[in-house]
Chain A
Amino acid sequence: MGSLKPWARYLLLLMAHLLAMGLGAVVLQALEGPPARHLQAQVQAELASFQAEHRACLPPEALEELLGAVLRAQAHGVSSLGNSSETSNWDLPSALLFTASILTTTGYGHMAPLSSGGKAFCVVYAALGLPASLALVAALRHCLLPVFSRPGDWVAIRWQLAPAQAALLQAAGLGLLVACVFMLLPALVLWGVQGDCSLLEAIYFCFGSLSTIGLGDLLPAHGRGLHPAIYHLGQFALLGYLLLGLLAMLLAVETFSELPQVRAMVKFFGPSGSRTDEDQDGILGQDELALSTVLPDAPVLGPTTPA
Chain B
Amino acid sequence: MPRAGVCGCWGGQVLPLLLAYICYLLLGATIFQLLEKQAEAQSRDQFQLEKLRFLENYTCLDQQALEQFVQVILEAWVKGVNPKGNSTNPSNWDFGSSFFFAGTVVTTIGYGNLAPSTEAGQVFCVFYALMGIPLNVVFLNHLGTGLRAHLTTLDRWEDHPRHSQLLQVLGLALFLTLGTLVILIFPPMFFSHVEGWSFREGFYFAFITLSTIGFGDYVVGTDPSKHYIAVYRSLAAIWILLGLAWLAVVLSLGSLLLHRCSRLWQLIRGLDLKDGAAPDSEPRSQKIPISA
Contact = CB atoms under 8 A, between A and B. Distances in A.
Interface in B205-252: 207-208, 211-217, 237, 241, 244, 247-249, 251-252
Q: Looking at chain B's contact residues, is the secondary structure mostly helix, strand, loop, or mixed?
A: helix
Contacts of A116: 200
A294 to B, nearest CB: 10
Contacts of B77: 71, 74
A225 to B, nearest CB: 15
Contact of B50 (A46, A66, A132, A142): A66
Given A10-B146, A266-B138, A81 B84 contact: no
Contact of A301 (B132, B244, B266): B266
B106 interface: yes
Given A28-B116, A43-B81, A276-B292, A213 B200 contact: no
A50 B204 CA distance: 37
A165 interface: no
B70 A81 contact: yes
A302 B43 contact: no
Contacts of A78: 40, 43-44, 47
Interface stretch (A101-109, A156-164, A166-174): A101-109
Nearest to B209: A107
A201 B112 CA distance: 15
A194 interface: no
Interface residues of A, number: 143
A113 B35 contact: yes
Given A36-B91, A107-B214, A139-B17, A14 B139 contact: yes
B20 A70 contact: no
A133 B211 CA distance: 13
Interface string A17-30: 10011101111110
Contacts of A283: 140-141, 144-145, 148, 248-249, 251-252
A214 interface: yes
Given A204-B122, A298-B266, A216 B112 contact: yes
Contacts of B48: 83-84
Given A105-B211, A113-B36, A28 B25 contact: no
A244 interface: no
B237 to A, nearest CB: 8
Nearest to B248: A283
A74 B74 contact: yes
B222 to A, nearest CB: 10
A32 B93 contact: yes
Interface of A: 6, 9-10, 13-14, 16-17, 20-22, 24-29, 31-33, 35-37, 39-44, 46-47, 50, 54, 56-58, 62, 64, 66-71, 73-84, 86, 88-92, 95-96, 98-103, 105-110, 112-123, 125-127, 129-130, 132-133, 135-136, 139-140, 142-143, 146-147, 150, 198, 200-201, 203-204, 207-208, 211-217, 266, 269-271, 275-276, 278-279, 282-284, 286-289, 291, 295, 298, 300-307
The 4 closest A-B pairs by CB, nearest first: A109-B216, A107-B213, A213-B110, A24-B102
5 contacts: A17-B241, A22-B102, A46-B73, A50-B69, A90-B32
Interface of B: 2, 5-6, 9-10, 13-14, 17-18, 20-21, 24-26, 28-33, 35-41, 43-45, 47-48, 50-51, 54, 57-61, 67, 69-74, 76-84, 86-87, 91-95, 98-99, 101-113, 115-126, 128-129, 131-133, 135-146, 148-149, 200-201, 203-204, 207-208, 211-217, 237, 241, 244, 247-249, 251-252, 254-256, 259, 262-263, 266-267, 269-271, 273-277, 283, 289, 292
Given A216-B110, A295-B255, 5 more contacts: A29-B93, A32-B117, A126-B207, A129-B28, A208-B110
